[in-house]
A and B are shown apart, each in its own frame.
Chain A
Amino acid sequence: MADNHKMWEELGMNLELHDQLCEVLPQAFGDVFLSQENRPEGMDYYNMVVADIHGIRPAELIEHQKKGGKVFGTFCVYVPDEVIFAADAIATGLCGGSQFWVPGGEKVLPTNTCPLIKASVGARLDRTCPFFRIADMYIGETTCDGKKKAWEILAEDVPVHVMDLPQMKRAKDVKAWAEEIAALKEKVEEFTGNTVTAEKLAESIKLINGKRKALARLYDCRKSETLPISGTDALVISQIAFYDDPARFTQMTNKLCDELEQRIKDGVSVVPAGTKRIMLTGTPLAIPNWKLHNIVETSGAVVVCEEMCTGTRYFENYVDESKETVEDQITAIAERYMNINCACFTPNHARIDDILRLAKEYKVDGIIDVNLKFCNLYDTEGYFIERAMKEANIPVLGIETDYTDSDAQQLRTRVSAFVEMLNN
């Protein structure tokens, strides 16, 4: 692995603090991923990407900037990458998934803010993540109160553009979201100096749809009784999707899927027949948050689906590729994104329908509904999920956790008991 210290130094990073993170990550990755048996060969690419997570991709982004290109940092699956790529800019996901960054966030945010927001703010203010340093502009959105206020704090340190996401799904809300996307287009055009033409937008719609199709193909493989890939491996692929080069990611993921489909034909499964199939629902699992998958998959069960932002909410539904004017394309983009069912909307019955549908498609034996501590929206919606699953006779376990490891043993007890219950 190349020495990235010079690049990190030029990015104005806190090298001493960042080195502490670099010391623990390989161990964590080894413990969680490399200890798995019978992994697909196609995972080599993702292993490499994670192993040099703060090296390879940041260097590419800097290369892009040297040629005059811009990089936009995003935090949410509602922010349309299509618009950004159409302006010859790059969008990269910035959500923080490690406890390492949380104390930095707590310097400025209330303790009872969700760890994802605290980690994201901490990663920026403590200067310990190259992606947070590289992004020329952050695109925020109004998905929760914690984020809304966090943007104001971040905006004192880096340019931030906030998209006002409606919280209901009436026709006028879809229209309002289309207007917000048009405003984003103008902002991106002004910031990059490039014009978003219908031709450019058509290209980027295809590019991002291609990534969605590759992820859908990966997830389709997980519907099989013969399970060709672990949930832990699938999760890290979902996480990498947020910041990798989209064209390369699509190509590598399709290549992996060739292998997975062959495995299904050959009857190669990563778990013994009869292993209980778990779906996780709820709040996102930002990289490197692998805690729950690891606990589930070392407790005798396997994760087959994530109804999460790092999961089905990211790739389901495509943008209509047949539109020819920028205005129509933006409407098509708005319609696709407003089909995502996040707990920040009211009402949000469609999410329950999604979960019931996914439970069937992925032949799920039980659901673990995960809530990142202090996420009121998903926590509250858990009430409806539990009730709906009970009615459908699908066992459900509710779990609230954060990025620390201090509750790992308690979680293990709950998850093991849940698996014992399913096995009875």
Chain B
Amino acid sequence: MNYVGIDIGSTASKVAVTGEKELKFVLPTGWSSKETTMLIKEKLLEDGVDVGDAETKVAATGYGRIAVDFADYVITEITCHARGGREMAGDECTIIDVGGQDTKVILVSEGMVQDFLMNDKCSAGTGKFLEIMANRLGVSLQELFDMAAAGTVLPISSLCTVFAESEVINYIGEGKNREDIAAGVVDSVAAKVAQLSQRKNLSEKVILTGGLSHSRYFTGILSAKVGKTVEPTADGRYAGALGAALLAREKSARR
């Protein structure tokens, strides 16, 4: 048997397979979740996993989960991230997921979701904010982080991405250091994520998942702001997909 987890995020689509095959891959979601879903199906077939056969169980998650028409299970990203995070950090943990359009804080206790929180309908404190600011500075996300590590934080006070972008434009106009602006951008995202997290009582063990999850630089800033060690995760961007794959296995075993 193979168990496939497909996490169609707003920016990236992540796939994890567990069972006879063990594999992971990521591709950009692009403009159509449907088309991405087809690409995933083909890619899986190339790797020897046929989502159409009875020996393969598929769970879909992420904001585009409905587009995965061959899924056996459709599960929200909260439940899937909790399952994947639990695999990475154990039965008592808090998962902070900074995604492309959502930031989530999920409290896991005894292996179950105990409570969760998502950001409001706003891109501040999400990957989208970083993407927009990196574009404005004419660099890639990785370059933005590298620059930020070498800079001193310039304060960005706006709570809104659009207004914060104006602040960045002002700094550019004033001829400020790009490194310092980059440091300000990353710091502001961490501050907003920390603000959201602090509405809940975080567990002792806190991990970061999502596209920034491998960044020690980011977890360092975040840890300082939430007052607890936020651990980076090597495969954190696959937390949702992995969780979905594991849930596909557990749900099909229950039948």
Residues of A within 8 A of B (CB): 395, 400, 406-407, 409-410, 413-414, 416-417, 420-421, 424
Contacts and interface: CB of A to CB of B under 8 A. Distances in A.
- Top 7 A-B pairs, shortest CB-CB distance: A417-B78, A417-B76, A421-B113, A420-B79, A416-B76, A407-B121, A424-B112
Contact of A414 (B114, B115, B118): B118
Interface residues of B, number: 15
B199 to A, nearest CB: 9
Contacts of A400: 120
User: Which of B63, B102, B121 gathers most chain A CB within 10 Å?
Assistant: B121
Given A420-B75, A421-B78, 17 more contacts: A395-B115, A400-B120, A406-B121, A407-B121, A409-B63, A413-B77, A413-B78, A414-B78, A417-B77, A417-B78, A417-B79, A417-B113, A420-B113, A421-B112, A421-B114, A424-B79, A424-B112
Contacts of B79: 417, 420-421, 424
27 contacts: A395-B115, A406-B121, A407-B121, A409-B63, A410-B102, A410-B118, A410-B121, A413-B77, A413-B78, A413-B118, A414-B78, A416-B76, A417-B76, A417-B77, A417-B79, A420-B75, A420-B76, A420-B79, A420-B113, A421-B78, A421-B79, A421-B112, A421-B113, A421-B114, A421-B116, A424-B79, A424-B113
Contacts of A406: 121
Interface in B75-90: 75-79
Main secondary structure of the interface of A (DSSP, over half): helix
Interface in B111-143: 112-116, 118, 120-121
A217 to B, nearest CB: 36
Contacts of B114: 421
Give the interface SS of chain B, mostly helix, strand, loop or mixed.
mixed
Contacts of A416: 76
Contacts of B112: 421, 424
Contacts of B75: 420
Nearest to B81: A417
Given A395-B115, A407-B121, A414-B118, A420 B78 contact: yes
Interface string B42-81: 0000000000000000000001000000000001111100
Nearest to A397: B116
Contact of A413 (B76, B115, B120): B76
Interface of B: 63, 75-79, 102, 112-116, 118, 120-121
A413 B77 CA distance: 8
A187 B36 CA distance: 66
Contacts of A417: 76-79, 113, 116
Contacts of A421: 78-79, 112-114, 116
A400 B76 CA distance: 19
A53 B63 CA distance: 36
Nearest to B76: A417
A289 to B, nearest CB: 17
Nearest to A409: B63
A409 B114 CA distance: 22
Nearest to A417: B78
Nearest to B118: A414
A417 B83 CA distance: 13
Nearest to A415: B76
A118 B247 CA distance: 45
Residue with the greatest number of chain B CB neighbours at <10 A, chosen from A400, A409, A414, A417: A417
Q: Which of A406, A413, A414 has the most CB of B within 10 A?
A: A413
Contacts of A420: 75-76, 78-79, 113
Contacts of A395: 115
B114 to A, nearest CB: 8
A80 B114 CA distance: 43
Nearest to A416: B76
Contacts of B63: 409, 413
A271 B75 CA distance: 21
Nearest to B119: A410
A409 B63 CA distance: 8
A125 B38 CA distance: 51
B179 to A, nearest CB: 35
A22 B118 CA distance: 36
A41 B57 CA distance: 42
Contacts of A414: 78, 118
A409 B8 CA distance: 14
